[in-house]
Amino acid sequence: MFRKPYADVWLEILWAEGKANLTSVSNYMEGLSNAIIVVIRNEGDKLNSKSARGVVMYNLTCAGVVWAWIALPVALLFLTLVFLVRIMFMSHANVKRGGAEEGRKPWKSSAMPLL
Protein backbone atom coordinates (compact mmCIF):
# COMPACT_ATOMS: atom_id res chain seq x y z
CA MET A 1 0.00 0.00 0.00
CA PHE A 2 1.31 3.43 -0.97
CA ARG A 3 1.65 5.98 1.84
CA LYS A 4 1.70 9.72 1.23
CA PRO A 5 4.51 11.76 2.75
CA TYR A 6 3.53 14.17 5.50
CA ALA A 7 4.21 17.16 3.26
CA ASP A 8 1.40 16.12 0.92
CA VAL A 9 -1.09 16.14 3.78
CA TRP A 10 -0.10 19.71 4.65
CA LEU A 11 -0.37 20.72 0.99
CA GLU A 12 -3.87 19.24 0.74
CA ILE A 13 -4.87 21.32 3.75
CA LEU A 14 -3.27 24.42 2.19
CA TRP A 15 -5.01 24.09 -1.16
CA ALA A 16 -8.35 23.11 0.46
CA GLU A 17 -9.42 21.12 -2.62
CA GLY A 18 -8.98 24.13 -4.89
CA LYS A 19 -11.01 26.44 -2.67
CA ALA A 20 -8.16 28.20 -0.88
CA ASN A 21 -8.80 31.71 0.35
CA LEU A 22 -7.15 34.09 2.78
CA THR A 23 -8.84 32.48 5.80
CA SER A 24 -7.81 28.96 4.84
CA VAL A 25 -4.20 30.05 4.24
CA SER A 26 -4.17 31.86 7.60
CA ASN A 27 -5.52 28.74 9.32
CA TYR A 28 -2.93 26.61 7.51
CA MET A 29 -0.05 28.81 8.63
CA GLU A 30 -1.35 28.86 12.21
CA GLY A 31 -1.65 25.07 12.27
CA LEU A 32 1.79 24.61 10.74
CA SER A 33 3.42 27.00 13.21
CA ASN A 34 1.68 25.27 16.13
CA ALA A 35 2.91 21.88 14.91
CA ILE A 36 6.47 23.18 14.64
CA ILE A 37 6.27 24.71 18.13
CA VAL A 38 5.01 21.43 19.59
CA VAL A 39 7.88 19.49 18.04
CA ILE A 40 10.44 22.04 19.26
CA ARG A 41 9.02 22.04 22.79
CA ASN A 42 8.78 18.26 23.01
CA GLU A 43 12.00 17.32 21.25
CA GLY A 44 14.21 20.36 21.81
CA ASP A 45 17.79 20.58 20.64
CA LYS A 46 19.26 17.46 22.18
CA LEU A 47 22.77 18.15 20.90
CA ASN A 48 23.18 21.64 22.35
CA SER A 49 20.95 21.78 25.40
CA LYS A 50 20.06 19.72 28.42
CA SER A 51 16.72 19.47 30.13
CA ALA A 52 16.23 21.58 33.22
CA ARG A 53 13.61 20.76 35.79
CA GLY A 54 12.28 23.30 38.21
CA VAL A 55 9.53 25.73 39.08
CA VAL A 56 9.07 28.94 37.13
CA MET A 57 8.82 31.85 39.53
CA TYR A 58 7.99 34.51 36.94
CA ASN A 59 8.17 35.11 33.19
CA LEU A 60 10.62 37.66 31.89
CA THR A 61 11.31 38.63 28.31
CA CYS A 62 14.84 39.82 27.71
CA ALA A 63 15.90 41.69 24.60
CA GLY A 64 19.32 43.18 24.10
CA VAL A 65 19.96 46.01 21.67
CA VAL A 66 23.37 46.39 20.07
CA TRP A 67 23.44 50.14 19.44
CA ALA A 68 26.49 49.91 17.20
CA TRP A 69 24.35 48.21 14.53
CA ILE A 70 21.85 51.07 14.65
CA ALA A 71 24.45 53.85 14.50
CA LEU A 72 25.35 53.49 10.81
CA PRO A 73 21.77 53.54 9.42
CA VAL A 74 20.90 56.50 11.66
CA ALA A 75 24.04 58.38 10.58
CA LEU A 76 23.28 57.71 6.92
CA LEU A 77 19.71 58.91 7.35
CA PHE A 78 20.87 62.08 9.11
CA LEU A 79 23.51 62.85 6.46
CA THR A 80 20.98 62.22 3.68
CA LEU A 81 18.56 64.69 5.24
CA VAL A 82 21.34 67.27 5.65
CA PHE A 83 22.30 66.79 1.99
CA LEU A 84 18.67 67.13 0.87
CA VAL A 85 18.10 70.33 2.84
CA ARG A 86 21.39 71.82 1.57
CA ILE A 87 20.48 71.05 -2.05
CA MET A 88 17.02 72.56 -1.53
CA PHE A 89 18.48 75.80 -0.17
CA MET A 90 21.12 75.98 -2.90
CA SER A 91 18.50 75.41 -5.59
CA HIS A 92 16.19 78.00 -4.05
CA ALA A 93 19.02 80.56 -3.81
CA ASN A 94 20.00 79.83 -7.41
CA VAL A 95 16.48 80.56 -8.65
CA LYS A 96 16.30 83.80 -6.61
CA ARG A 97 19.64 84.96 -8.04
CA GLY A 98 18.32 84.50 -11.54
CA GLY A 99 20.14 81.25 -12.12
CA ALA A 100 17.31 80.00 -14.32
CA GLU A 101 17.96 82.83 -16.79
CA GLU A 102 21.67 82.01 -16.84
CA GLY A 103 20.95 78.54 -18.18
CA ARG A 104 20.92 76.77 -14.82
CA LYS A 105 17.41 75.52 -14.25
CA PRO A 106 16.13 74.15 -10.94
CA TRP A 107 16.23 70.37 -10.47
CA LYS A 108 12.47 70.00 -10.81
CA SER A 109 12.83 70.49 -14.58
CA SER A 110 15.75 68.07 -14.92
CA ALA A 111 15.97 64.31 -15.26
CA MET A 112 19.38 64.26 -13.57
CA PRO A 113 18.10 63.73 -9.98
CA LEU A 114 16.32 60.57 -11.12
CA LEU A 115 19.52 59.22 -12.61
pLDDT 10s digits, 49-81: 777 788 888 888 788 888 889 999 999 999 999
All structural domains of the chain with their residue ranges: 6-43, 80-115
3-state secondary structure of 73: helix
Average pLDDT taken over every residue of the chain: 78
Q: Please give the model's pTM, rounded to 2 decimal places.
A: 0.36
* Structure-model confidence comparison of residues 39 and 94, the more confident one: 39
Burial class (CB in 10 A: 0-12, 13-18, 19+), 91: middle
Q: Are 31 and 23 in contact (CB under 8 A)?
A: no
**Whole-angstrom distance, CA of residue 11 vs CA of residue 28:** 9
The pLDDT of residue 28 is above 60: yes
Q: Are 10 and 32 in contact (CB under 8 A)?
A: yes
